[in-house]
Chain A
């Protein structure tokens, strides 16, 4: 049952991710798109049918390589991001990716000075890794050695390292030897510059990250949920945290080329945040997060291949954002729509219960006055009687009665008077009984004056489940057996103001 729902959710997400990209693509396909109407030099040429086909059918070897590489990257980022989000370290990834820039620049400068190929990706990434780790170390040092909070440490490291990186890149671009142009691709991301070897590197690193996530899933879950308990059980909390950070470093490094260091954090945070709306289970969340990450990277890179002037990083992040927005509204566990529907349902139930209890209390007050006919056989209740039982406005009460009538709980006669059906009577007894149970419980155990109990109990009784009621019943003294409901603790409004007609 759950697995079906899970699969459904994943399928929905995949569709949701692919649809908007097509929708965005459709309307622009007019003849006007062919002209140059650029405001900036980043003008976007609408791809020809031939280009569409080449990209979508993966006809180019290059496209295949790039799409495969970025998809694996997205998968790994989604999986790792799941843990960092739940460990509440999402922004660590941001500081870390910004801290890689000086490393990229320095590696280029040093390698070029040594006469090597300054643009060899492994060397650039090695430099990025070094300064990235330095950035992490700086954050930890500032946090532990001073009384500054983590957000301040993150802000300092992020901006200082990024600034240093921009300065180093400036130096690199003025070097006579070497060819620094293209290094700025690491800032915004340029998936198209990915070669087969790069894709291989990315693929291997992504695979390693994914495997570690699967193997250490249980341990990382414990770390994210309850660090102190993990420590008490002998788990090396520091080592687990370090492993998690190394995963973030790996994913960030392989993402520099396709996504760029400014936007890399989005691929770590957005898929995981989107996944949270679909599930209450961490394993499912990890799978959905990885799926959203992979799909966003794939679609984003494909769009970037179709529109070569749009940076792939931005495209990937925009697609991921679409997935996030869809998840936020349509997510089956925590989505806005589901929550609104649930809230409405609860309010409806509260109103229904109020009506039933008011009806019961009117009948109860009558039976006390003249103990002949009680329960469902009693004479119908007038709207005036109901209106005096609770502060309803007439329109609201009318709607409520029609609603209950439609549900078969009450029957309205031609004069507008209301009578409980047998089913409605049973429901009314239950509602009133639960309500008074709570009142009794609260006065017994919380020392709340009876006159104040009513309002508090109103909210609670609607969320009581059966076993809690049983638990309460066992705590309470027996009431008279012939009455279905123990008497109210305070005079009910129905009894206090008997109907005038």
Chain B
């Protein structure tokens, strides 16, 4: 089962060397990932169009984070193929920015916000070389972009949750990638940070970047995302939000886990805002 997100004819012809500027940002074909004996992703296939904001939606344990990690080669895939701008990830690493889940690191670590952002530049700096002033300036500029330049030298445990998330976002921005993979950037952040992040995502979209965002708040999905991938171990549906983000598909994705409250909120939203 293969789902093309925008229904257009963008596809990668493996016969010809793909052109960098027009190659599809992300193609996933029949991706299967298993931890120990338990399969987490089954035959996941989709293609992402360029310059879109794509939400990955699904219940807990649906494999949303695993999908991102499999694309990044962080977990081994049992089978399947992932192409980033027409090549395997390891060949196009520099074109991909990654924002891991905020809880995945120890925020008590003795580094400052600007130190963390500079980590996004390590690849460019090269092995065994120190972070020079030039790279520090780049990191500071990225922090300014996410609106926390004045916190650059603060140790990261003294940042609020939203500021920590912005720091992670700045670390991805500093890479100046073409495809961004973000794991729950909106989880437990304040309203101001949520709006700041959305603004940056829109800015990136205007610049023609593609973003894949793991998201858990169903209410904001139609507002934020052009496309969605509904995931529950397999792709339930993928495509333009207005076509795919339907009650029926949500029911299939979440099954019994979609609470009555969510359904009610969803129904109300739909009646109140028909524009989608």
Contact = CB atoms under 8 A, between A and B. Distances in A.
B98 interface: yes
Interface in B67-108: 69, 72-74, 90, 93, 96, 98, 100, 104-106
Contact of B119 (A217, A226, A471): A226
Nearest to B109: A225
Interface residues of B, number: 34
Contacts of A55: none
Contact of A279 (B93, B105, B110): B110
B200 interface: no
B122 A233 contact: yes
Interface residues of A, number: 29
A229 B110 contact: no
Nearest to B129: A218
Q: Is the interface of B mostly helix, strand, loop or mixed?
A: mixed
Contact of B123 (A224, A226, A234, A285): A234
Given A218-B131, A471-B192, A86 B119 contact: no
B192 A475 contact: yes
B25 to A, nearest CB: 16
B267 to A, nearest CB: 20
Contacts of A226: 100, 104-105, 119
A279 B110 CA distance: 8
Contact of A225 (B74, B116, B128): B116
Interface string A226-248: 10110111110000000000000
B150 interface: yes
A234 B111 contact: no
A432 B100 CA distance: 39
Nearest to B118: A218
B98 A285 contact: no
B111 A229 contact: no
Given A228-B69, A229-B100, A282-B110, A218 B192 contact: no
B72 A231 contact: yes
Interface of B: 69, 72-74, 90, 93, 96, 98, 100, 104-106, 109-112, 115-116, 119-120, 122-123, 125, 127-131, 150, 155, 171, 190-192
Given A228-B69, A229-B171, A475-B191, 15 more contacts: A216-B127, A216-B128, A218-B125, A218-B130, A219-B122, A219-B128, A222-B119, A226-B104, A226-B105, A228-B100, A229-B98, A232-B96, A233-B122, A280-B112, A475-B192
Interface of A: 86, 88, 215-219, 221-222, 224-226, 228-229, 231-235, 276, 279-282, 285, 445, 467, 471, 475
